Amino acid sequence: MTSPNYATYLHLPELLDLQRPLTPVDQQDLSDSERLFIVVHQASETLLSQVLVDLRHIASGQCGRRCHDRRAQRATRLVGALEGQLKLLHHTLPREDFLLFRHRFGTASGVQSKQFHELFARVRKLTKHGDEDGPAADPELLTALDEAVRRWRHTHIELVAHMLGDRPGSAETSGLRWLAARLDGSSDTASYTASYGSSDTASGTASYNAEPSAAEQQGACPVAGGRRSTGQQAAGPEAEGPRATEPPTAERQPVTAPRLAAAADGLGHVVVVGGSVAGLLTAHVLAGHAERVTVLERDQYEDTPGPRAGVPQSRHTHVLLTSGMNALEELLPGLLPALEDAGAPRLAVPGDLGVWQAGQWISRRNPSRPIMTPSRPLLEHHVRRRVLDDPRVHVRTGVEVTGLLGRPGHITGVAVRTRGGDHPARQEIEADLVVDASGRASRTPAWLADLGAPAPAEELVETGRAYATCVFHADHPPEDLDGFYIVPDAGQPLGAIVLPVEGDRWMVTLSGPRGEAPPGDAEGFVEFAGRLPHSAPHKWLRSARPVGRPAGYRHTANRRRRYDRPGQHNTGLLVVGDAACALNPVYGQGLSVAALNAVALREELAGKRAVPSRTLQRAVFRSARRAWDVATGADSPMPGVTGNAVRSGPAARLLTRYLDRVRAHVPHDPVVCGTQRDVLFLLAPPRTLVTSPRVLRRALLSPAGPDRSAPPTP
């Protein structure tokens, strides 16, 4: 067990993520101490930004003496306020909560941020040399600023020492020396320490002028994901070297340092549960940051593309939205051309597709974006080949994960059993990071409960929609189109999608609301299409030949598990793909979200060797948010919808009425159509539909266009 040290306290990057007002829902999840800490951190970030605005302005040499003095005074007062906040924490936050909080939230704070370095460097320059480029400074004001910074620094050291049990002023631990060096800025540690050390002594405390250790001077400061003083990235705590960086043993708390920041090679050993699209893409990204990545998949992979038992949706239509195409091309360059070479169609929407929405066909002359329609097995096959070509990614098939190892708040591996054979062997696999990519039916909430950890809060919007998909051969395409998409809505709840896939086949998916599932026999399936709001798909289907029986699917709820929330995250665990956020498939987003999750992880890790798992979890959450908003926004007004995240109430009803007007303009208005399509394709946030003046004007002020009930012509 690792004890807390300054390094693990001082890095709280999630706090920087929390630079937004806490919503009432967020607040419910927070203890009083957590709320206090977050609010104080948010406030101090804001204050610090303003101090820097003033110091930069002074340094620019553009202001006159009065402006210069006013800004120096304000900076002094703001630094005083920063110090006051630390005192507030010192006097109101119980030490146990502080440690718990640090444990839950990971390990970073603004102290290692560029902002602090900039603050120290600027104040040092000003007080040593005055403002060389500007008017003569009032020396008294500069002295006051200098002293405010000294006091702030001293209070900070006292707070940390108090919370972590170190003895203030003793300089006995390298953690304390490290903190002092950190607060002094990275480039000129010795001189600044000496300079501020005298003030500490003068103010009645012992001096903190002990020099950093040689290792620290070389940049081996014990900061997870922080910057070395040389400007390089630092390794995590286990790369700290000797435990001399920890507080004295007697003061240690039973709190473990976050695992994710653990290994010299960044993430150490990563185990990915589930070798489907989200798991493979995540493995691909993490391979660049881990010592070893092992994918555990319960199915056996075949050599050729084909449906798998572990992915029941692989028999259903899968579109790849433009955002997903972009993300996949970024992650695995050359993948899309390879899919096209294998026969996957690329369609322009609405140019190549007949899209029926709000009682009309959308004009195909409206601007288009591409989508791709490989079959799901073909896509997964190509992703798998590309990812598993990487020697850093290992896969074990026929291995089923049966539980998590570790304890509440901290995951250390997985329990597995090998499938097949008479005596399945049980085994434990240790990991620095476990990634759950086991899909919609993820058992992580239950496995956490087995460990005694709380399950994550779940948000649910469920329409009860049921799916059926059947493959068809046809001699000719539907009308002069490449496919149909009949979009269901509250007034017209039946949906259909007819799309070409590789192998000169057509995949046809029909869907109906709760209690109106499409039948499981080919004849009944075609008959069901006769109930669609336009006859064109049914007419075409009657001329096509079904291949086999339709496959049904009923688990279409939108379900988001809030592993990102304060208090619901476990270090050493990351949940991605459908396991974190499963969406109603009718909007065709899941694959794109899996790819966007991976891109978000890549961006979060870029240039760093270790990032707390909670930060990664929040990045995953953010990257799925647009899709969640689109799917739950569209499903909330559906008849018979249930779930705790259904949007209701007067504001939701007003929004629905407005969006109905937007939809009525889509068929004939290129601006409204393009904006709505970009939202649906996850290229723009849903709020664009209510914030774009061009869309607002059209939706509210212009009449909807002519009725388009004949299939659209090019």
Among 106, 275, 566, 711, binds ligand FAD (CB under 6 A): 275
Q: Which is nearer to ligand FAD, 71 or 369 (CB)?
A: 369
> Alpha carbon of 503 to those of 97, 345, 470: distances in Å?
61, 10, 15
Among 585, 612, 667, 712, binds ligand FAD (CB under 6 A): 585
Name the one range near ligand FAD by CB under 6 A: 35-43, 529-537, 585-593, 648-656.
Answer: 585-593
**Minimum gap (Å) between residue 470 Cβ and ligand FAD:** 13
Which candidate, 523, 526, 537, 469, places its Cα nearest to that of 501?
469
Q: Which is nearer to ligand FAD, 125 or 555 (CB)?
A: 555
Q: Applying CB under 6 A, does 590 fall inside the site for ligand FAD?
A: yes
Q: Which is nearer to ligand FAD, 148 or 271 (CB)?
A: 271
* Chain residues 377-416 in contact with ligand FAD, contact rule CB under 6 A: 400-401
Among 274, 413, 493, 712, binds ligand FAD (CB under 6 A): 274
**Minimum gap (Å) between residue 295 Cβ and ligand FAD:** 9
How many residues at the interface with ligand FAD, by CB under 6 A? Answer: 36
* Chain residues 536-565 in contact with ligand FAD, contact rule CB under 6 A: 553
Burial class (CB in 10 A: 0-12, 13-18, 19+), 207: middle
Q: How many residues does the chain have?
A: 714
**Minimum gap (Å) between residue 437 Cβ and ligand FAD:** 5
Q: How far apart are CA 52 and CA 237, in angstroms?
A: 30
Among 93, 100, 347, 437, binds ligand FAD (CB under 6 A): 437
Q: Applying CB under 6 A, does 488 fall inside the site for ligand FAD?
A: no
Side-chain half-sphere CA neighbours of 554 within 13 A: 8
Among 175, 237, 354, 577, binds ligand FAD (CB under 6 A): 577
Q: Applying CB under 6 A, does 273 fall inside the site for ligand FAD?
A: yes
**Helix, strand or coil, per DSSP, at residue 657:** helix
Q: How far apart are CA 575 and CA 401, in angstroms?
A: 14
**Minimum gap (Å) between residue 384 Cβ and ligand FAD:** 10
**Minimum gap (Å) between residue 602 Cβ and ligand FAD:** 17
Q: Applying CB under 6 A, does 610 fall inside the site for ligand FAD?
A: no
> Alpha carbon of 673 to those of 347, 352, 357: distances in Å?
17, 15, 11
**Minimum gap (Å) between residue 376 Cβ and ligand FAD:** 6
Q: Applying CB under 6 A, does 623 fall inside the site for ligand FAD?
A: no
Name the one range near ligand FAD by CB under 6 A: 250-258, 381-389, 437-445, 634-642.
Answer: 437-445
Q: Which is nearer to ligand FAD, 276 or 366 (CB)?
A: 276
**Minimum gap (Å) between residue 589 Cβ and ligand FAD:** 5
**Minimum gap (Å) between residue 400 Cβ and ligand FAD:** 4
Instruction: Identify whether 537 is preceded by a cis peptide bond (ω within 30 of 0).
Output: no
Q: Which is nearer to ligand FAD, 184 or 380 (CB)?
A: 380
Q: Applying CB under 6 A, does 155 fall inside the site for ligand FAD?
A: no
* Chain residues 295-354 in contact with ligand FAD, contact rule CB under 6 A: 296-299, 310-311, 313, 316-319
Q: Applying CB under 6 A, does 511 fall inside the site for ligand FAD?
A: no
Which candidate, 100, 42, 54, places its Cα nearest to that of 79?
54
Among 467, 484, 485, 681, binds ligand FAD (CB under 6 A): 467
Q: What is the 3-state secondary structure (H, E, C) of 527-586?
A: HHHCCCCCCHHHHHHHHCEEEEEEEEECCCCEEEECCCCCCCCCECEEECHHHCEECCHH
Q: Which is nearer to ligand FAD, 330 or 480 (CB)?
A: 330
**For residues 148-157, b (16+ Cβ closer than 10 Å) or e, as one string?**
bbbbbbbbbb
Q: Which is nearer to ligand FAD, 364 or 384 (CB)?
A: 384
Q: Which is nearer to ligand FAD, 296 or 461 (CB)?
A: 296
Task: Please report which helix (H) or strand (E) contains residue 418, including its range.
Answer: strand 410-418
Q: What is the 3-state secondary structure (H, E, C) of 156-197?
A: HHHHHHHHHCCCCCCCCCHHHHHHHHHHCCCCCHHHHHHHHH
DSSP code at position 641 = -
Determine how many CB atoms are found less than 10 A away from the CB of residue 64: 9
Q: Applying CB under 6 A, does 265 fall inside the site for ligand FAD?
A: no
Name the one range near ligand FAD by CB under 6 A: 339-347, 581-589, 625-633, 642-650.
Answer: 581-589
**Helix, strand or coil, per DSSP, at residue 646:** coil
Q: Applying CB under 6 A, does 113 fall inside the site for ligand FAD?
A: no
* In contact, 237 and 2? CB cutoff 8 Å: yes
**Helix, strand or coil, per DSSP, at residue 296:** strand
Q: How far apart are CA 486 and CA 498, in angstroms?
A: 9
Residue nearest to ligand FAD (CB): 590
Rg (CA), the chain: 29
Q: How far apart are CA 262 and CA 572, in angstroms?
A: 10
**Helix, strand or coil, per DSSP, at residue 271:** strand
Q: How far apart are CA 362 and CA 364, in angstroms?
A: 6
Task: Please report which helix (H) or strand (E) contains residue 345, including its range.
Answer: none
| Assigned token pair, 505 | 């086949």
Contacts of 417 (CB under 8 A, 6+ apart): 399, 400, 402, 424, 425, 426, 427
**Minimum gap (Å) between residue 554 Cβ and ligand FAD:** 9
**Minimum gap (Å) between residue 509 Cβ and ligand FAD:** 7
Determine how many CB atoms are found less than 10 A away from the CB of residue 483: 27
Q: Applying CB under 6 A, does 502 fall inside the site for ligand FAD?
A: no
**Minimum gap (Å) between residue 673 Cβ and ligand FAD:** 21
User: Which residues in this chain contact ligand FAD in the complex, by CB under 6 A?
Assistant: 273-279, 296-299, 310-311, 313, 316-319, 400-401, 437-440, 467, 553, 577-579, 585, 588-592, 594
